[in-house]
Amino acid sequence: MAVIIRKDEAVVASLRAAVLRWYDGHGRDLAWRKGERDAYRVWLSEVMLQQTTVAHATPYYDKFLRLWPTVGELASAEDGRIMAEWAGLGYYARARRLLECARVVVRDHGGVFPDDEAALLGLPGFGPYTAAAVAAIAFGKAANVVDGNIERIMTRLYAIEEALPAAKAAVREAAAQWVSADRAGDWPQALMDLASLVCRPKAPLCGECPLATACLAFQRGEPERFPVKLEKAARPRRHGVVFLIIAGDAVVVERRPDKGLLGGMLGLPHTEWRDRPWKDAEVRGPDLEFTKAGRYEHVFTHFALTQEVWLARISGVQGQALIRTHNDWQLLPLADQRSLPTVFHKALKFETYGSLI
Ligand code: SF4
């Protein structure tokens, strides 16, 4: 592990106060900071913000709070409804764990989140980051919250040369030096805002930063070199054929198996996503007259997908007959197509293919 050179404690105390003053004047006005600090709201926002931008997550957060204002109401929601309302937010395993966690909170904790980091860590979907964030922000506990933003500030502040992810232990040690019971909940939020508005990944505004006097990366004139990252391996590419079957004013969809990618979500029927393109003769789909309508790209975390769209138009009556022959299939009104995960929703833009020719 990289050895960090600890900063003088008096310097830390004075700069910590300066960051909190900056936060009081410049902190972002975020939906989940309005009203009381309630563990359910903090948790919901943290789960939604994993791998998603604030702008993208905010309407989902507002919608979930409107539909399910308490963890108890969320726990009693139907799985399919949660998945449908989550559609578009990505990383669907999080939605499944969200529901699982709400049910554990109701079953094992009387509908109240535990206020202790260790107990929070035992809940489904809680990793060290979420447990620390909820303990600090909702319960004011002095927890060491380290997300990608705080990681960026710490690697710059201490000029940590070790590459991520190996540097995570050193980053945690650096961040721990700043944790204090004083405004424990504001501190991680202040750092996240500072990272988002000032210590940006590209072109950080060091001239406006309350930490500049102690920041080694700034003093060396190379803030953007941190955090040091290992070269990423190129994403592998996979290929698939998706069957876009329009039955009257509905589309044929399938309920995906609970386990695996996009588990439990609705999706369009498709071939296996494999590492070489499909030849027409290899494709086994429903016995319908298909037209090749085009292809599109979609990028998952671990692979990029090229998906060819095979389009068939049938009547509503034929659609009913078709779904009777497939247990997991159903008809989704075209008006509700937004409830499909993005990788399938993209195929719907080919629905007008042929109608304009
Ligand atoms: Fe980031 Fe610059 Fe502030 Fe250092 S001085 S923490 S690099 S914004």
Q: Tens of pLDDT along 31-47?
A: 888 877 799 999 999 99
User: What is the model's pLDDT at position 3?
Assistant: 66
- List the single range of 16-20, 227-231, 310-314 with lowest mean pLDDT: 227-231
**Mean per-residue pLDDT over the chain, rounded:** 93
Report CA(324)–ligand 1 centroid distance (Å). 61
Q: Is the pLDDT of residue 126 over 90?
A: yes
Answer yes or no: 254 catalytic.
Answer: no
Q: Is the pLDDT of residue 259 over 90?
A: no
Report CA(215)–ligand 1 centroid distance (Å). 6
Q: Is the pLDDT of residue 199 over 80?
A: yes
DSSP letters for 138-149: HH--------HH
Residues 6+ apart with CB under 8 A from 137: 37, 42, 145, 185, 188, 189
**Mean pLDDT score, 62-87:** 94
Cis peptide before 59 (omega within 30 of 0): no
217 confidence band (pLDDT: 50, 70, 90)? very high
Alpha helices (H) in the chain, listed in sequence order = 9-26, 39-49, 54-67, 71-75, 79-86, 93-109, 117-121, 128-139, 148-157, 168-176, 186-197, 216-219, 316-324, 342-345
Task: Kindly give the number of the ligand 1 atom that is closest to the alpha carbon of 153.
Answer: 6
- pTM for the whole structure: 0.75
Take atom 1 of ligand 1 and give the residue whose Cα is closest.
199
Task: Kindly give the number of the ligand 1 atom that is closest to the alpha carbon of 226.
Answer: 7
Tell me the best of 11, 215, 219 to mutate to test the pocket of ligand 1, counting ligand atoms within 8 Å of each CB and taking the most: 215
Q: Is the pLDDT of residue 131 over 50?
A: yes
Q: Which residues line ligand 1 (CB under 6 A)?
A: 153, 156-157, 198-199, 204, 206, 209, 211-212, 215, 217-218, 223
User: What is the model's pLDDT at position 301?
Assistant: 85
User: What is the model's pLDDT at position 15?
Assistant: 97
User: What is the model's pLDDT at position 209?
Assistant: 98
User: What is the model's pLDDT at position 1?
Assistant: 64
Q: Is the pLDDT of residue 340 over 60?
A: yes
Report CA(128)–ligand 1 centroid distance (Å). 25
Q: How far apart are CA 207 and CA 232, in angstroms?
A: 31
Q: Is the pLDDT of residue 321 over 90?
A: yes
Report CA(222)–ligand 1 centroid distance (Å). 10
Tell me the best of 160, 178, 199, 228 to mutate to test the pocket of ligand 1, counting ligand atoms within 8 Å of each CB and taking the most: 199
Take atom 2 of ligand 1 and give the residue whose Cα is closest.
206
pLDDT in tens, 145-174: 999 999 999 999 999 999 998 999 999 999
356 confidence band (pLDDT: 50, 70, 90)? very low
Q: How far apart are CA 3 and CA 216, in angstroms?
A: 14
Report CA(71)–ligand 1 centroid distance (Å). 38
Q: Is the pLDDT of residue 85 over 80?
A: yes
Q: How far apart are CA 85 and CA 265, in angstroms?
A: 11
Kindly name the residue from 46, 117, 173, 254 that is annotated as catalytic. Answer: 46
331-351 exposure pattern, b = at least 16 Cβ within 10 A, e = fewer: bbeeeebebbbebbbbbbebb
